[in-house]
């Protein structure tokens, strides 16, 4: 993005976020989901990172909680109560570790992770073991003295007890305990039931309720609202008394203070990430609300050494679970023709994580839907997942619409994107459908040679399937002897084949029932098909009939990705790196691999024993060798390693599969991938061995 564009975008983002905050915090109402607002804040902080000169002191990213309220005594914190940088996916966790590794090269890192509770931060001060003061976070330097209210929280001990006699130092002098004040889910529900029965307005969410309660000036009211405290930090004047986060948690519990038992330390990044994922659903059963994990360096001396940038420490991050909603920008709207000939508009956008997976497109269903939601190219949209699986555009954030947004005129776009096809829209339907008497073809090259005209009994579905299968079986693609136009028609119209993969399941008996087949010809066709269960990858990709993917593009894709699985996961930006692939082709590929029907088809191929094989046509010492890298490398980034592997003729994969030659175990790699590799006969090597293979 250019500087001027970033400036405009940042200014708009700030306006929308501030609007949201005002409604949420002041008017106690919500104009957008918290997840969508978080998503916008994330975009803002990334833009500010890229253009630091555009950071202004009033940016929402520069804020730590609220200002202290009047009515409570202001208290200066012994050390700042910082906030954390939010990250939303594994990649950002890896980048965080890489940044630290650059700052302290060669230092062994240990991580400590605890569930991130959704409440109100509070510091408890104990003098000689006696609870003396509770302070809210305030502006991170100065908070409010809320001692009287916090004293009503039953699970906070008013005196620390040295349970095993080894912690007497913590009961002397000043001990500060920091943690989160939360309201449990069932307490929140009960309070709201009660409000409802009294015809009082319900509380919006437990965090606001907890925060509001602690700031009540009447402590009797506070006592009526059940709150809990859960600690995450322990401070002493001499920091060496608390060497690690793990030690802090053990000590807190021993002193009689509740701290989460799920908190854990990790030697390997892979294991940490696995742990975080393992809680993404389990956390629903916890009594309190959580929205992610806090990950800190376990070594507290190192944590301090790394210091603070702005308002957040370098040594910790908050991993926020992918929310059910996120915001992104519509880059284009492409029209895809489905199995039934229906023309469906698909929004293609910047990849964004929604409910745990990266999403880069969503069906817009039909022209009416686009008009109803007024979705334009260039718009910022809120994405959610319907039924937790299928990404949908919820709405457009109109305030963020750029001046040059492009309205989408369905009919003229159909003509532009498919100049060779004709469509019709039955009055009663919202959908445009392919007209089959148009004598037109959507598959490349070979299919165009077809000369048959179709009797009207042929359905659009069959018409498309016939074109698709002819193309799949053609010389340039899978090259199946005896599966030309006539036989394709016969198989499709007699319903022996309902999709491309079905040809691998046809039996001789089925063929013999058709007029054109005799014993020998049936056997020949079955054999010809069976012989093509391991087609070259590029022929298979070409055969799928992905729009804009001709024979050469298929070769380029096969050479670049080396497997269907890697290609399946490619993003638009990654695809554009491949020689000869531009935006339009990249979008078409991404749209194809995100269509549920297509993914099902690929699964079916695989269940029928069809496995395309990749034989590198490139030369080099690594021809035929495939690599997966787990953990992080010391001498080069993953991308650099992948690039080198490819230049030497090898292939780079993202996951260990049957054909993987080597699994490279980087630093902090977990054991699970290695176990899988060994089970599949993949050789497990270390970074040094990789460097040897790369001739470094
Ligand atoms: S550790 C340097 N651990 O999240 C700050 N914080 O976004 C270290 N929070 O201010 C904080 N659960 O109020 C930590 N298990 C946890 C937490 C947690 C919730 C809050 C806390 C913090 C904010 C940071």
How far is residue 244's CA from residue 265's CA, in Å, rounded to a whole number?
10
Does 116 participate in catalysis according to the annotation? yes
For 325-424, give the CATH class.
mainly beta
Parts of the chain belonging to CATH 3.40.50.10190: 626-694
Mean confidence (pLDDT) of the chain = 87
C-beta 77 within 6 A of ligand 1: no
Q: In a mutational test of the pocket of ligand 1, which residue from 143, 252, 276, 294 has the highest number of ligand atoms less than 8 Å from its CB?
A: 294
The CATH superfamily assigned to 74-320 is: DNA ligase/mRNA capping enzyme (3.30.470.30)
Parts of the chain belonging to CATH 3.30.470.30: 74-320
Q: Which of 89, 94, 93, 46 is nearest to 637 (CA)?
A: 94
- Give the model's pLDDT for residue 23: 73
The CATH classification number of 441-530 equals 1.10.150.20
Q: Which of 341, 346, 340, 338 is nearest to 413 (CA)?
A: 346
Q: What is the pLDDT of residues 493-539, one digit of tens each?
A: 888 999 999 999 999 999 999 888 999 999 999 999 999 999 999 99
Q: Ligand 1: distance of its center to the CA of 32 in Å?
A: 24
Q: In a mutational test of the pocket of ligand 1, which residue from 83, 300, 304 has the highest number of ligand atoms less than 8 Å from its CB?
A: 83
Dihedral, CA of residue 548, residue 551, residue 557 and residue 560, to nearest 10:
-150
The CATH classification number of 537-607 equals 1.10.150.20
0.75 exceeded by pTM:
no
C-beta 313 within 6 A of ligand 1: yes
Tokens, residue 179: 């943690």
Averages of pLDDT over each 10 residues, the chain, 696 residues: 93 90 66 87 90 84 52 92 89 93 94 95 95 93 92 88 81 96 92 86 79 81 87 97 97 92 95 93 89 96 94 94 85 83 88 80 90 95 78 92 94 87 83 70 45 52 87 92 91 92 96 91 96 95 90 86 89 79 87 86 95 80 85 84 79 71 87 82 93 90
Residue 646 backbone dihedrals phi, psi, to 5 degrees: -65, -40
C-beta 306 within 6 A of ligand 1: no
Choose which CATH entry (3.30.460.10, 3.30.1330.30, 3.40.50.620, 3.40.50.10190) describes domain 626-694: 3.40.50.10190
Task: Return the SS3 of 203.
Answer: coil
C-beta 318 within 6 A of ligand 1: yes
Parts of the chain belonging to CATH 1.10.287.610: 3-63
C-beta 143 within 6 A of ligand 1: no
Q: Ligand 1: distance of its center to the CA of 116 in Å?
A: 6
Q: Ligand 1: distance of its center to the CA of 83 in Å?
A: 7
Q: What is the pLDDT of residues 598-637, one digit of tens each?
A: 999 999 999 999 999 988 666 788 887 888 888 889 888 8
Parts of the chain belonging to CATH 1.10.150.20: 441-530, 537-607
Q: Ligand 1: distance of its center to the CA of 235 in Å?
A: 14
How far is residue 672's CA from residue 687's CA, in Å, rounded to a whole number?
18
Q: Ligand 1: distance of its center to the CA of 384 in Å?
A: 27
C-beta 303 within 6 A of ligand 1: no
Per the residue annotation, which of 12, 14, 116, 385 is the catalytic one? 116
The answer to whether domain 3-63 has CATH 1.10.287.610 is yes
Tokens, residue 625: 């060798």
C-beta 316 within 6 A of ligand 1: yes
């Amino acid at each position: 993005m250019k500087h001027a564009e970033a400036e405009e975008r940042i200014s708009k983002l700030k306006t929308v976020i501030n609007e949201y905050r005002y409604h949420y915090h002041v008017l106690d109402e919500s104009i957008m989901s918290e997840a969508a607002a978080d998503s916008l804040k994330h975009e803002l902080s990334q833009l500010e990172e890229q253009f630091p000169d555009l950071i202004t002191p009033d940016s929402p990213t520069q804020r730590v909680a609220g200002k202290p309220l009047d009515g409570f005594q202001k208290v200066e914190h012994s050390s700042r109560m910082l906030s954390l940088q939010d990250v939303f996916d594994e990649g950002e966790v890896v980048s965080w570790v890489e940044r630290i590794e650059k700052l302290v090269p060669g230092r062994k890192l240990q991580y400590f992770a605890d569930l991130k509770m959704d409440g109100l931060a509070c510091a408890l001060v104990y003098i000689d073991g006696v609870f003396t003061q509770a302070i809210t976070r305030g502006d991170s330097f100065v908070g409010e003295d809320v001692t009287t209210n916090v004293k009503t929280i039953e699970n906070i001990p008013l005196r620390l007890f040295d349970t095993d006699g080894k912690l007497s130092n913590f009961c002397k002098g000043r001990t500060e305990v920091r943690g989160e004040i939360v309201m449990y889910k069932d307490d929140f529900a009960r309070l709201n039931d009660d409000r409802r029965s009294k015809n009082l307005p319900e509380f919006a969410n437990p965090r606001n309720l907890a925060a509001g309660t602690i700031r009540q000036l009447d402590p009797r009211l506070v006592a009526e609202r059940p709150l809990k405290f859960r600690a995450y930090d322990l401070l002493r004047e001499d920091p060496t008394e608390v060497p690690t986060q793990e030690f802090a948690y053990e000590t807190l519990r021993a002193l009689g203070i509740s701290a989460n038992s799920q908190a854990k330390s990790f030697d390997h990044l892979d294991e940490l990430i696995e742990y975080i994922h393992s809680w993404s659903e389990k956390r629903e059963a916890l009594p309190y609300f959580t929205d992610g994990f806090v990950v800190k360096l376990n070594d507290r001396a190192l944590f301090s050494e790394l210091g603070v940038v702005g308002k957040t420490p370098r040594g910790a991050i908050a991993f926020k679970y992918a929310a059910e909603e996120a915001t992104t920008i519509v880059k284009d709207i492409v029209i895809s023709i489905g199995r039934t000939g229906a023309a469906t508009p698909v929004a293609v956008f910047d990849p964004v994580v929604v409910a745990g997976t990266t999403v880069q497109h969503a069906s817009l269903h039909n022209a009416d839907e686009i008009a109803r939601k007024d979705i334009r190219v260039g718009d910022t949209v809120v994405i959610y997942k319907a039924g937790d699986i299928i990404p949908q555009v919820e709405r457009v954030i109109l305030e963020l619409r750029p001046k040059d947004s492009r309205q989408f005129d369905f009919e003229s776009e159909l003509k532009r994107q498919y100049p060779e096809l004709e469509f019709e829209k039955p009055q009663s339907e919202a959908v445009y459908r392919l007209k089959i008497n148009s004598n037109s073809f959507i598959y490349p090259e070979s299919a165009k040679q077809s000369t048959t005209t179709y009797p009207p009994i042929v359905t659009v579905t069959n018409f498309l399937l016939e074109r698709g299968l002819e193309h799949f079986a053609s010389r340039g693609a899978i090259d199946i002897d005896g599966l030309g136009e006539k036989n394709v028609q016969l198989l499709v119209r007699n319903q022996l084949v309902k999709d491309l993969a079905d040809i691998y399941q046809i039996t001789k008996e089925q063929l013999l029932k058709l007029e054109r087949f005799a014993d020998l010809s049936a056997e020949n066709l079955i054999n010809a098909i069976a012989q093509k269960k391991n087609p070259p990858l590029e022929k298979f990709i070409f055969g799928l009939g992905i729009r804009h993917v001709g024979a050469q593009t298929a070769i380029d894709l096969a050479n670049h990705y080396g497997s269907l699985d890697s290609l399946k996961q490619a993003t638009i930006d990654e695809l554009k790196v491949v020689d000869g692939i531009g935006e339009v082709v990249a979008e078409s590929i991404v749209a194809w691999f995100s269509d549920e029907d297509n993914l099902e088809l690929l699964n079916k191929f695989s269940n029928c024993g069809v496995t395309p094989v990749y034989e590198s046509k490139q030369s080099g010492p690594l021809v035929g060798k495939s690599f997966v890298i787990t953990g992080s490398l010391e001498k080069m980034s993953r991308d650099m390693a992948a690039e080198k592997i490819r230049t030497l003729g090898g292939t780079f994969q993202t996951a260990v599969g049957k054909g993987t030659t080597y699994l490279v175990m980087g630093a902090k790699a977990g054991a699970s991938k290695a176990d899988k590799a060994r089970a599949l006969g993949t050789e497990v090597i270390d970074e040094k061995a990789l460097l040897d293979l790369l001739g470094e």
